Amino acid sequence: MSIGSKLMENKGLLLVSVFYLIAGILDFVALFLSTYPPQLAIIGILSLATAYGLMQKRMWALWLAIVTFLVTTTFAVYTLAYTLGNLLLNLAMVAYLILTWIVTAYVAMKRKTLQS
């Protein structure tokens, strides 16, 4: 069974994996545009690995999504507390935080569709 046909079975997992793929790419873009905070590299690697695991429908992707959720939540809350004056960055962090919570909850609900 090809990857395309696997992904078309569950469009929700496709959207979640695309979210993690885009988030990982944007983390690496922000990594090179900022003053090299290493936590962005860690979040980017975790996001890209989670996207790959979800595309392949692997059970370990659930655990990686939970780890990514914890790291991303910690990073976003710290960024919100540290940059109170920057409204655009704060709005972006809140949106990223909410989307991360939503997609992690979705992956947890769809854990039966993931293979071991």
List pLDDT tens digits, range 19-37. 999 999 999 998 888 876 8
Which two three-digit tokens encode residue 96? 């990223």
Instruction: Report the C-alpha gap between 99 and 94 in whole angstroms.
Output: 9
List pLDDT tens digits, range 39-67. 899 999 999 999 999 998 899 999 999 99
pTM of the model: 0.86
pLDDT value at position 20?
95
User: Which residues contact residue 94 at a Cβ distance below 8 angstroms, ignoring those fewer than 6 apart?
Assistant: 76, 80
82 or 103, which is more confident: 103
List pLDDT tens digits, range 5-18. 655 667 888 899 99
Contact by Cβ (8 Å): 35, 62 = no
Instruction: Report the C-alpha gap between 72 and 43 in whole angstroms.
Output: 7
Tell me how crowded residue 71 is: count the other CB atoms within 10 A of its CB: 16
pLDDT value at position 51?
95
Instruction: Report the C-alpha gap between 76 and 96 in whole angstroms.
Output: 8
